[in-house]
Amino acid sequence: MLQERISRRLFARSTAGLLVAGTGIAAVQANNRSESIHQEPASADSAAQEKPVEEKRPVEAPFERDYDAPGFKPSWSKPQINREMAADFVIFAHSELDKVQMLLEREPGLLNATIDWGAGDWETALGGASHMGRHDIVEFLLSRGARIDIFCAAMMGMLETVQAMLQMEPALIDARGPHGFNLHFHAQVGQERAKPVLDFLQSVKELELREIPFLKGKRNSGG
């Protein structure tokens, strides 16, 4: 668990300068908070010197209708899936296939769970696996019926799908996924599999492509 948290934090820090993604700050803060909570002190002495960590919980923004309520009233007949469990599922989908499989077996309703990391930075497990270039996790989620989107298609090298979606809606070339990552970024993390997609995206809108630190020295081995 600790290794995964540290890896996630380093990824967020190292890629923060790649894109203008203001909403991504909330995800980084949430991850840093989670990583610090799960750390264990090296010794009793060091623990005594450290200040206690205040665990922060998600806070729902205040809201009061200043418009007429919808005519349809939901029944709320079934309990919602636990938000912490959904957040764990999305976080694990960035790097831990076994944990994703375990949680989905326990709660199938997690498949398309979406977490708002703050200020509308929505992310699903498929979204997290996609911008980490985890082909294996994406393939597993898709095999279970996850809702594919253009960002996932770009990372997976689905050229015809990306072309068709951009033909249908050209404005998608500027669309942003979780944490503000764009289509070009997703094609970059897809590596060799997604190179035709990246070339196509560059032909539509050429961007300066920056090196992605967590891909250094990493072969396209499915994740």
How confident is the model over 101-123, as pLDDT tens digits? 999 999 999 999 999 999 999 99
Between residues 210 and 14, which one has the greater pLDDT? 210
pLDDT classification of 170: cutoffs 50, 70, 90: very high
Neighbouring C-beta atoms of residue 106, cutoff 10 Å: 11
pLDDT, position 218 = 64
The H-or-E segment that residue 149 falls in is none
Look at residue 98 and give its three-state secondary structure. Answer: helix
**What distance in Å separates the CA atoms of residue 3 and residue 46, rounded to the nearest whole number?**
20
Pull the structure tokens for residue 134: 């985890």
Between residues 213 and 15, which one has the greater pLDDT? 213
Residue type, 35: E
For residue 192, pLDDT beyond 90 = yes
Q: Of 7-11, 24-28, 167-171, which range is least confident?
A: 24-28
Nearest C-alpha neighbor of 94 from the set 55, 58, 56, 136: 136
Residue type, 9: R
* pTM (2 d.p.): 0.75
Is residue 130 within 8 A of residue 138, CB to CB? The reply is: yes
Look at residue 115 and give its three-state secondary structure. Answer: strand
pLDDT classification of 54: cutoffs 50, 70, 90: confident
